[in-house]
Structure 1
Amino acid sequence: MFHVESRPVAHHAHSYPTSQYDAHIHSQSMPSQVAALNLPRQLQRPAFREVPKDNITAVDPNLMAVPVEYIRQGVQQRGEEFYSTASRALSSSRKQAHISHIPQSEYVRVMGATIPTHIVAVYSSGAHTDKVMLYATHALPLAVACAMLPRLPASHPQPRSDGHAQVPVVSLAVPHADAFEPLHNYILSHNAHNLLACLLNPVARSLGRGSALPSAHTLAGLLAQATLSQGDRMAALMALTRNANMLWRNACSLGVFDREFWTVLDLAWDAILGAMNLVATGRA
């Protein structure tokens, strides 16, 4: 088993920013009920760093002379292919393992010409847990998206006659293992609408699949209305902030700097804070 510990970035990227970096919601524009929660107005982005080209060429040496941005565009265009083949590669009964019994390799289902190259065994760093989540993945999208992820071991899976292929298992520690799946799904698929639906699950069915994302104002209204059936509306919205925060911490830890990812995360965060404002002031 190959172990990968995602490398930490600056301390403030792993916690809610202090006033030195970002303004908290202590302002006249926010009611006291929301300001008292001490949430940041924005989720701060870590200092940018480019993905190591060596990590990409380790996956495919033929990409040595190809600019990273061009490689990134090609990966994004194949997003549905990467996501579809990876998401169906493991049966539900094989998606968990005990942390002391993580296999060195596993078999994945071959669902097309593009075969997953690895399985990541994901667990929460700093947490005492026995549970490890297993995700079939593709090395190239990970190498292109994650600047803080060390180089993955070589993998060239070959399909067998039974429709399976053997791939190495990589142990990966992230701040919040429970929030790894939506980030991983986005890295593979580059589907902004699905990411937004995950972050704003109560209104997922109202988001549509058009080319343009809804505005934060529109989403805030939808979220506020969606909490009407909740006993504690503010608690329901706070749960969304926790989910977004966990996803944010994982992205910072892995070094995800994808522009569209951050656009969606910022949009969702603005919408949640806006919904809190509407609920706290009795306007929804």
Structure 2
Amino acid sequence: VVMGNATAVLEFLLIGISNYPELRGTFFTLVLITYLSTLLGNGLIIFLIHFDHHLHTPMYFFLSHLSFLDLCYGTASMPQALVHCFSTHPYLSYSQCLIQMSVSLALATAECFLLAIMAYDRVVAISNPLRYTVVMNGPMCVWLAAASWGAALVLTAMLVLSLRLHFCGANVINHFVCEILSLIKLACSDTRLNELMIYITGIFTLLLPFGFVLLSYIQIAAAVLRIRSAQGRFKAFSTCGSHLMVVTIFYGAAISMYMKPQSKSSPDQDKFVSVFYGALTPMLNPLIYSLRNKDVKGAMRKVMAKRA
């Protein structure tokens, strides 16, 4: 369909892994294992937190939200990547592309805010334990979780509604999924406003929350150093260190994609970097945050005992 000098693109071809045919089998296996691990790990966390009333605390309330986000986030992209892996014509309609992009953006943005809220929760718990239950009461936890979802929806709507793209026939997206930067690269209209919007949104959703998380962990480290027992210090540092590692992978990969000049970006590099925050982090979060935790292990033992 031709509109003036532009062409109305009705569908997009997703290249995915098809320009590396020898890697298709390996890629499919890795994504399948990652997705099943994401479903199993996050599903188990949500079930255990719901099942055991000992886990009905602010920390586990936020962890259940993180697990739900990761379940949805993984499901928004990984099944499609699996289906398209061996497809000769992996096409998506324009509306499907826009819906997938919007859902993934909203979920990733909500996770950015939620990780910052979880860091704040840990700061209050460690630095001010006597006032923890007063500060992080039920209504406050619900309000913080709702604020992260609400802010994510508003910022995503602003980004998506500002897209006024015209395409001149090019409809090949060099990615596994519909992703906003890949879509903008195809446009033949002026995209400077869109790039500016992405950069400004990135400051609020990536740089500021990540900076807040780092400052929070510096405060936590200072509080941990005041712990007299060497074993207690080691345990606290190992827990905080693993949390910080996963958070850095998530924010670092996203910042490296969205906060650099688009003229310096490589489509092949970007699509593999996106795997870190789109697939690896949702799988690692339950392992790092919850499944090594003695409270969660206790809840699992209770479930096993009831089933026996």
Q: Answer yes or no: same fold by TM over 0.5.
A: no
TM-score by length of 2: 0.27
RCO higher in structure (CA 8 A, sep ≥6): 2
Give the structure with higher Rg (CA).
2
TM-score (normalised: structure 1): 0.28
